[in-house]
Amino acid sequence: MAGDGNGRAELPRIAVIGAGIFARTQYIPRLREIAHLVVLKSIWSRTQESAKAAAELARDFAPDIECKWGDAGLEEIMGDSSIMGVAIVLAGQVQVELSLKMLKAGKHVIQEKPASGSTTEAETALSIYHSFQNLFPHKPIWAVGENYRFEPAFIESSKLINDIGDMMHIQVIIEGSMNSSNPYFNSTWRRNFVGGFILDMGVHFIAGLRMMRIFL
């Protein structure tokens, strides 16, 4: 890797697409923890105001962070060859479309959940993604930011389940508090998303079941 002028190897540079609650409260703190591994070069939002507000939260560990907004800002990120990957942290209705744009621009993508609004949208998106095979020497990685598959309880369960025998029935009981005290309660996109909060929260538990190979 090339040096950066300060005696350090050049670190990979990424952008965060989205400046909402989850980007501010989860992505920026986690990126602060791994600032020795990756550089947050840019953060994008639909408006200049929200992009700047989010960028200020990251200024302590990314002093040179750039604010991008609107269509022009997206084009700048896609055209920036120094940015190798992006995190798509947006409303569920637009994540797939922007993920495909970034992938086509050669960026690795980690996209927040839900992965798509329907199986049809997901299947179409995967078909498009696989068509990129011959565009690059190495096809960019597309991942979904689902954390339950890394939870120790599910990992251990997946190891033990083979010793149980044939699985005949499984029952999952979920209690998810969602009231006005929850910061995500007033998220407009969740109220307009097919399945609403049930799909938004339920993807975690489906991912956990898949981790235990119930449906594989």
Domains of the chain (ranges, CATH numbers): 13-144 (3.40.50.720), 148-211 (no CATH)
Write down the pLDDT at residue 147: 84
Q: What is the mean pLDDT of residues 113-139?
A: 85
Q: What is the pLDDT of residues 127-185, one digit of tens each?
A: 999 998 778 888 899 999 888 888 888 888 878 877 777 777 777 777 767 677 766 66
Q: For residue 94, give both structure tokens.
A: 């637009």
Q: What is the pLDDT of residues 29-71, one digit of tens each?
A: 999 999 999 999 999 999 999 999 999 999 999 999 999 999 9
pTM (2 d.p.): 0.81
pLDDT for residue 190 is more than 70: no
Helix-helix angle 119-130:95-104, to 10 degrees: 0
